[in-house]
A and B are shown apart, each in its own frame.
Chain A
Amino acid sequence: EDQVTQSPEALRLQEGESSSLNCSYTVSGLRGLFWYRQDPGKGPEFLFTLYSAGEEKEKERLKATLTKKESFLHITAPKPEDSATYLCAVQGINKFYFGSGTKLNVKP
């Protein structure tokens, strides 16, 4: 069964405390893996697209990596404004699969 699993479900960090979010997937015909940020009551905001194992993308304090079975979103020295739900999505054959997200809370 095609599915995407994210862990942890929730993560509380102190400002400046680096960590990683995990996204594991079992999807046939992978065409791309996507990371989004979602604030409460709003639509997901695009962060990264990864297409092949070994690929890495960076943006400010965020870095996304991809292997054959999972992806990591590394957050370096987070700030309170990084608090949000981070969603991972995988595109299979004519379908998209989202994980349930990791809710990140960064305390000042």
Chain B
Amino acid sequence: ETGVTQSPTHLIKTRGQQVTLRCSSQSGHNTVSWYQQALGQGPQFIFQYYREEENGRGNFPPRFSGLQFPNYSSELNVNALELDDSALYLCASSSQGGETQYFGPGTRLLVL
């Protein structure tokens, strides 16, 4: 059973650019959630995707958007990057009817 994987591991962008982060869910899982974790803070819920539809969203602006594909993998897109977007971005997957989420290793994004 493969766990949650994310790519890339690290990324450096400049303010105003756009970025796409990728996540492959754990086998057997069809729900994916994305989180932003600033240094020294707990993860902040961005949104969740279930069956390719957004199924819940936290307090993040529309420039944070996502996709889920038929194989349940997912992308997080962030437009017009700001310095405060620098953080660890975490993806988590869970199975239908189960709320327990299993996290990937994260993508460290630095915005200069």
The interface of chain A, by Cβ under 8 A from chain B, is 4, 6, 31-32, 34, 36, 41-46, 49, 87, 89, 91, 93-101
Contact = CB atoms under 8 A, between A and B. Distances in A.
A45 B106 CA distance: 12
Secondary structure at the A interface, as helix, strand, loop or mixed, is strand
Contacts of A45: 103
Contact of B42 (A32, A42, A87, A93): A87
| Residue picked from A4, A6, A49, A89, most chain B C-beta under 10 Å | A89
Interface residues of B, number: 25
B99 A44 contact: no
Given A96-B45, A98-B42, A99-B42, A43 B58 contact: no
Q: Which of B44, B45, B106, B108 has the most CB of A within 10 A?
A: B45
Contacts of B104: 43
B101 A46 contact: yes
Interface string B13-46: 0000000000000000000010100001111110
A98 B44 contact: yes
A43 B103 contact: yes
Nearest to A32: B99
Nearest to A91: B99
19 contacts: A31-B99, A32-B99, A34-B100, A34-B101, A41-B108, A44-B90, A46-B102, A49-B99, A87-B42, A89-B43, A91-B99, A94-B57, A95-B57, A96-B48, A98-B35, A98-B42, A99-B42, A100-B41, A101-B42
